[in-house]
């Protein structure tokens, strides 16, 4: 089964290896890795990271996130930037509204309880997250980013690949879901992996939530933004089925990944 990798300087670090697929197969261990941000990676403190031999890191974060907390790459790894929320984050910057790119600006969203209540109270946070997940499927920047992720994964010299965002739950969660469904996992297995990050996310962001609520912030808003909820994933899946029908059509027509590349991904990643 997939496992939380035992490291102390990367949040929410998981290996997708072991997830069951159709035909009594499984995801091959050590090739598909997911996490939160890498700004605190310390190879000396976490020799397990070096042991994985990570060759490629795909950063799904915005320019703002990368500038504020740049990745510390594993030794020998190359970096691929695939900004899922470029369009959404740009809109937020222009409008001065932190809620427009909440998954990309967690600290900004939770920095001012009054602003958070204005923009995200009364169920608006849940609606925002659902709309964001639907945009993972349809927005131009998201399609470009996930196309780049899968194209990179299909390269002959890709090696073990780590993909990540900030918390490792939303942009990374959708990426993991797409890859797993493409490899042949059923929806329930993909959802279990999506929800499995809950303890790690809660632990990593507990200080932010504590500060927010201590300052009078609404804990329901924090939970909606930092939560990992089945309804959010369901929103993206519904949008994928509405627009494309199934995951293979989404990958082929929505992301522009040729069947030959899908075949290479499956040959490498299915044990």
Whether residue 268 is contained in a domain is answered as: no
pLDDT at residue 191, as a whole number: 98
Whether residue 263 is contained in a domain is answered as: no
User: Would the pLDDT of 92 be above 60?
Assistant: no
Torsion of CA 131, 137, 141, 143, to 10 degrees: 180
pLDDT at residue 95, as a whole number: 40
pLDDT at residue 105, as a whole number: 64
Whether residue 271 is contained in a domain is answered as: no
Domain range for 202 is: 3-98+105-255
Domains contained in the chain, number? 1
Higher pLDDT, 104 or 268: 268
Q: Which of 221, 223, 226 is nearest to 122 (CA)?
A: 221
Mean pLDDT of 82-86: 96
Whether residue 260 is contained in a domain is answered as: no
Return the half-sphere exposure (C-beta side, CA atoms, 13 A cut-off) of residue 83. 15
Whether residue 270 is contained in a domain is answered as: no
Whether residue 140 is contained in a domain is answered as: yes
| Long-range residue pairs from 247-250, CB within 8 A, at least 24 positions apart, any chain | 247/178, 247/181, 247/182, 248/182, 250/137, 250/178
- pLDDT band for position 194 (cuts 50, 70, 90): very high
User: Would the pLDDT of 2 be above 60?
Assistant: no
Higher pLDDT, 23 or 257: 257
**How many whole angstroms separate alpha carbon 96 and alpha carbon 93?**
5
Whether residue 174 is contained in a domain is answered as: yes
Q: What is the CATH number of the domain that holds 116?
A: 3.90.190.10
* pLDDT tens-digit map of 98-137: 444 556 666 677 778 998 898 889 999 999 999 999 999 9
User: Would the pLDDT of 94 be above 50?
Assistant: no
- Tell me what the pLDDT averaged over the chain comes to: 91
Whether residue 264 is contained in a domain is answered as: no
């Amino acid at each position: 089964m997939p496992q939380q990798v035992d490291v102390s300087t990367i949040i929410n670090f998981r290996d997708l290896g072991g997830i069951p697929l159709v035909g009594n197969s499984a995801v091959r261990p050590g090739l598909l890795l997911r996490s939160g941000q890498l700004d605190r990676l310390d190879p000396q403190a976490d020799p397990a990271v070096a042991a994985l031999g990570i060759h490629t890191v795909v950063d799904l974060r915005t320019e703002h996130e990368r500038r504020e907390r740049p990745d510390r790459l594993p030794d020998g790894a190359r970096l691929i930037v695939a900004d899922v929320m470029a369009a959404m984050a740009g809109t937020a910057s222009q409008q001065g509204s932190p809620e427009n790119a909440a998954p990309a600006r967690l600290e900004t969203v939770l920095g001012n309880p009054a602003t958070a209540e204005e923009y995200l109270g009364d169920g608006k946070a849940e609606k925002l997250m659902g709309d964001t997940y639907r945009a993972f499927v349809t927005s131009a920047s998201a399609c470009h980013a996930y196309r780049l992720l899968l194209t990179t994964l299909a390269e002959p010299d890709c090696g073990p690949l780590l993909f990540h965002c900030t918390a490792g739950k939303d942009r990374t969660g959708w990426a993991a879901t797409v890859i797993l469904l493409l490899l042949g996992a059923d929806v329930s297995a993909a959802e279990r992996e999506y929800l499995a990050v809950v303890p790690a996310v809660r632990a990593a962001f507990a200080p932010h939530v504590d500060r927010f609520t201590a300052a009078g912030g609404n804990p329901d808003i924090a939970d909606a933004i930092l939560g990992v909820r089945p309804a959010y994933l369901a929103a993206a899946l519904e949008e994928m089925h509405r627009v494309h029908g199934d995951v293979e059509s989404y990958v082929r027509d929505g992301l522009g990944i040729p069947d030959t590349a899908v075949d290479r991904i499956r040959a490498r990643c299915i044990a």
